[in-house]
Amino acid sequence: QVRLVESGGGLVQPGGSLRLSCSTSGSLFSFNVMGWYRQAPGKQRESVAHISSSGSTTYSGSVKGRFTISRDDAENTVYLQMNSLKFEDTAVYYCNVWQGARSYWGQGTQVTVSS
């Protein structure tokens, strides 16, 4: 059973930084695509960033240039470095990974940007 655990969320002031981590367990193989989504109160879950097994990355327009996604395949872990955080980045951030045709989700970690 694949299990994902996010960490690194918290309260940060505007302009600050946080680094999210998503550690995985229960898989003998690396994942094809690893990524991050977020869901703000009253809004739909949205894609934030993804990274393929080859290292190709994609970002939503709202975070491009501020967030950086990376992965460590030896540890089957994906990271999200978030810089220059804004109020509108406040959300629960979810890790998502694909292995073949199967998708797995973490339980989410809260990121709150507030002064």
Kindly tell me the burial class for residue 2, based on how many C-beta atoms sit within 10 Å of its own C-beta (0-12, 13-18, 19 or more). middle
The predicted pLDDT at position 79 comes to 98
What 3-state DSSP class applies to 92?
A: strand
For 62-107, the pLDDT digits (tens) are: 999 999 999 999 989 999 999 999 999 999 999 999 988 999 999 9
* pLDDT for 55: 94
Q: Distance between CA atoms of 56 and 107, rounded to whole angstroms?
A: 25
Tokens 């994902």, located at residue = 4
Handedness of CA 99, 55, 90, 25 (dihedral sign): positive
Render pLDDT for 16-62 as a digit per residue (tens, 0 to 9): 999 999 999 888 778 889 999 999 999 999 999 999 999 999 999 99
- Ramachandran category for residue 106: left, alpha or beta (phi over 0 → left; psi -120 to 50 → alpha): beta
